[in-house]
Amino acid sequence: MDYFTADLHLGHASIMKHSRRTEFMTDSDRASLSLALADPQVYKAWKPSGESLDRMDRGLIARINERVDPGDRLWIVGDFASPRKATTAAMRAYRDAIRCRDVRLVWGNHDPRHLCDGLFTATYEAVRLIISPRRTLVEADAFRTHAQRSLKDRLIAGRRARVVFLSHYAHVVWHHSDRGVYHLYGHSHGNLEAWRNEHMPSALALDVGVDCWDYRPVSFAEIDRLLGEKHKRVPPHTVDHAGRIG
């Protein structure tokens, strides 16, 4: 089974403050952050304790391991880890703590690329998936189009598969966004959702970041249920370069 997540920011202290990850904080840190929110200067200087940061790291990895089996496939749609003292060993320790064997990373803006060699099954700038009941086909060149009706095209045409476009950043349009292709992204930590729902109400797009999903990965079955139901009740997402808006 395919699972999706994003924006773990393992080892990244500032994200606990900016995304209000109070669930992982010590009681003392929660109290001091509450006071800091009343004073911009104090808030700017506020940092969580090492214990809170360790709780976040262990908690996020535990929720992955609770949901994703070793034989599943886990897609991290950017910002896996960015510890203050980023080393190859630190990055390896985070990856090794995840029991899933097939973990794939779509690059985010916080990922230290030079420290990630060999950590993941594969890495991508963006990627297109064709997920059928029996298997997942991966196209590393997410923007490629097909002149011939290949197996992929027949699967799509026969509605036995879903096409999914992954990018760390949310897009307004993507290839075949007006034809039922899903778009999964991260980066925005849930802050884009209200705007997207207002201005792109028919877009089959979803933030899969941990801050939107109780700090856990979301299965493709859950995603397909949400976006599939939306696809049935709303018109196609038809914003494009020709000026069509729907």
* Global pTM value: 0.90
Instruction: Quote the pLDDT of residue 152.
Output: 55
The total number of structural domains that make up the chain? 1
Residue 190, in any domain of the structure? yes
Give tens-digit pLDDT for 188-234: 999 999 999 999 999 999 999 999 999 999 999 999 999 999 998 88
Residue 24, in any domain of the structure? no
Q: What is the 3-state secondary structure (H, E, C) of the chain?
A: CEEEEECCCECCHHHHHHCCCHHHCCHHHHHHHHHHCCCHHHHHHCCCCHHHHHHHHHHHHHHHHHHCCCCCEEEECCCCECCCCCCHHHHHHHHHHCCCCEEEEECCCCCCHHHCCCCCCEEECEEEEEECCCCEEEECCCCCCCCCCCHHHHHHHCCCCEEEEEECCCCCCCCCCCCCCEEEECCCCCCCHHHHHHHCCCCCEEECEHHHCCCCCEEHHHHHHHHHHHHHHCCCCCCCCCCCCC
Residue 19, in any domain of the structure? no
Residue 103, in any domain of the structure? yes
Instruction: Quote the pLDDT of residue 83.
Output: 87
Instruction: Quote the pLDDT of residue 155.
Output: 53
Residue 25, in any domain of the structure? no
Please list the ranges in the chain whose pLDDT falls under 50: 147-149, 151, 245-246
Residue 93, in any domain of the structure? yes
- The CATH number for 175's domain is 3.60.21.10
- Domain assignment of residue 129, given as a range: 2-12+72-233
Residue 229, in any domain of the structure? yes
Residue 132, in any domain of the structure? yes
